[in-house]
Structure 1
Amino acid sequence: MASVVLERVLNVIVLGPGYPDARTQDLFLMSSFWNVTILIVSYLFVIYWVGPAFMSRFSEPLDTYSYLVWHNLFLVIANALFGLSLLACLVYSNQNLLCEPVRQGDVASDLIAYLMYALLLLKIFELGDAFALVCKKLDPPFILIFHHVTIVAVVWVGVKYGPGGSATFPTLLNSLIHVLIYLHFKYGRRHLSQQQSRKIFILIYFVQFIVVTFLSGSAMYYKCGYPDWVAAVSILYNITLMLVYVRSVWSLWCTVRPVEYPSSSSSSSSESEDEIVLEHGKASTTTNKSTPHNNKKK
Structure 2
Amino acid sequence: MSVLIQYYNDFISRSADPRVKQWVFMDNPLPTLAIIAVYLLLVLKILPLYMKNRKPFNLTRIIRLYNIFQVVACILLIYMYLTAGWIQGEYSIGCAPVDWSNKPNALRMVGTFYWLYCLKGVELVETIFFALRKKFNQISGLHVYHHSSTFFLTWIGCKFVGGGMASVPSMLNSFIHVLMYTYYYMSSLGPEWQKKLRPWKPRLTICQMIQFTILIIHSLSAFHPECDIPKYFMLLYLPNLVLIFKMFYDFYKDSYKSKSASLNHHQREKKIS
TM-score, normalized by the shorter chain, greater than 0.5: yes
Matching of residue 70 in structure 1 with residue 69 in structure 2? no
Residue 56 of structure 2 is aligned to residue 61 of structure 1? yes
Is 1:180 matched with 2:172? no
Contact map agreement 1:216 1:232 (CA 8 A) in 2: no
Q: Where in structure 2 are there 5+ consecutive unaligned residues?
A: 1-6, 188-193, 265-273
| Superposition RMSD in Å | 2.0
Q: How does 1:193-232 map to 2 (within 5 A)?
A: 193=198, 196-221=199-224, 223-232=226-235
- Give the structure-1-normalised TM-score: 0.76
How big is the shift at 1:28? 1.2
- Displacement after TM superposition at 1:105 (Å): 2.4
- Structure 1: gaps spanning 5 or more residues: 1-11, 260-298
- Which deviates further from its counterpart, 47-56 or 64-73? 47-56
Alpha-carbon distance in structure 2 between the residues aligned to 1:44 and 1:175: 24
Which residue identity is paired with 1:92?
Answer: Q
What's 2:113 paired with? 116
Q: Distance in 2 between matches of 1:153 and 1:212?
A: 18
Pairwise CA distance, 1:94: 2.5
Residue type at the aligned position of 1:67:
I
1:48 aligned residue (44, 47, 50): 44
Report what 2:22 is aligned to: 26
Inter-partner Cα distance in structure 1 for 2:116 and 2:143: 18
Aligned to 2:87: 91
Measure, in 2, the Cα distance between the counterparts of 1:61 and 1:96.
48
1:225 aligned counterpart, secondary structure: coil
The one-letter amino acid of 2:162's match is: P
Aligned residues: 244
1:72-97: CA deviation from partner (whole Å, max 9, x where unpaired): 11101000111112122212243021
The 3 A distance-change label for structure 1 pair 26 and 223 is farther
Structure 2 CA distance for partners of 1:257 and 1:136, relative to 1, 3 Å: farther
Runs of 4+ in 1 over 3 A off after TM superposition: 15-18
Q: Please give the TM-score of this superposition, normalised by the length of structure 2.
A: 0.83
Deviation at residue 257 of structure 1 after TM alignment: 4.2
Asked whether the equivalents of residues 209 and 249 of structure 2 are also in contact (C-alpha less than 8 Å), the reply is no
SS of the counterpart of 1:46? Answer: helix
Relative contact order: is structure 1 or structure 2 higher (C-alpha 8 Å, sep ≥ 6)? 1
| Alpha-carbon offset, residue 21 of structure 1 | 0.5
Residue 241 of structure 2 aligns with which residue? 238
State the partner residue of 1:191: 196
- Of the three residues 223, 243, 253, the one matched with 1:250 is 253
Return closer, same or farther for 1:231/1:64 CA change in 2, 3 Å cut-off.
Answer: same
Say which SS state the counterpart of residue 191 (structure 1) adopts: helix
Counterpart-to-counterpart distance in 2, 1:177 and 1:120: 17
DSSP 3-state at the match of 1:151: helix
The answer on whether the counterparts of 1:102 and 1:226 sit within 8 Å (CA) in structure 2 is yes
Cross-structure match for 1:291: none
1:173-208 CA-to-partner distances (Å, cap 9, x unmatched) read: 110110110001122635221xx3332122111111
Q: Equivalents in 2 of 1:160, 1:93: separation in Å?
A: 24
Cα deviation, 1:42-91, whole Å, max 9, x if unaligned, reads: 01111122212222352x21111111011111101000111112122212
The one-letter code matched in structure 2 to 1:126 is E
> By how many angstroms is 1:137 displaced?
1.4
